[in-house]
Amino acid sequence: MSTLTTTRTTAPARANLLRWPIPSRLRKSILVTHVVSAGAWIGIDIAATVLVAIGWTRSGDDRTAVYQALADFSVVPLLLSALAAGLVCLVTGVLLGLATKWGLVRYRWVAVKLVLNVVACTMLLLFLGPISELSSGEQPLQDMWFVAFLATSALALLGFAMVLSVFKPWGRVRKQPR
């Protein structure tokens, strides 16, 4: 029986040593910033996906004009905003991982979210080039499938990351010794 009580008292002490001590108000502020930036990122990605779909339904010179307007006034500023939101989400996620019991890569769902965030930010960078090329007429409009693929797959990744945040599936990356 004393072994159980010793294990219970040393396990939280060990977990506290692995965490970065942070005041509760600061942790909650970081959490709110993380949730707001993730929500903004998803909203911006939805808007960009809708704009790309609108451009894709057009034909001929009308399509070129739509893509020029999208690139100049909507998509590029939206994507830069999404990239900023994604980077804020990444930084606050890392801070939360260091400051909470979930850890940075202690649980599989947190590690997967970290990877998804990096992948989605990379996809945003890949998305900027084709839209700019389409607006200037450098890239043929038949290559629009790549832009549509990036937009919809980024939305799917962000949705999956949101599901991971709510359900917290799987377990620890490595089992803790008792």
The 10s digit of each residue's pLDDT in 13-54 is 444 455 678 899 999 999 999 999 999 999 988 887 887 787
The reply to whether 173 falls in a domain is no
Write out the two tokens for 74.
Answer: 């909507």
The reply to whether 45 falls in a domain is yes
| Interatomic CA distance for residues 177 and 10, integer angstroms | 12
The reply to whether 176 falls in a domain is no
Instruction: Give the pTM.
Output: 0.77
Residue with tokens 């001590």: 21
Residue with tokens 């709510």: 166
The reply to whether 120 falls in a domain is yes
The reply to whether 174 falls in a domain is no
| Domains held by the chain: number | 1
pLDDT, tens only, 103-137:
888 899 999 999 999 999 988 887 777 766 766 66
Domain carrying residue 154: 2-167
CA 138 to chain centre: 30
The reply to whether 103 falls in a domain is yes
The reply to whether 80 falls in a domain is yes
Confidence (pLDDT) at 87: 95
The reply to whether 134 falls in a domain is yes
| Interatomic CA distance for residues 101 and 14, integer angstroms | 11
User: Which runs of consecutive H residues, i.e. helices, occur in the chain?
Assistant: 2-18, 24-57, 60-69, 76-99, 108-136, 144-167
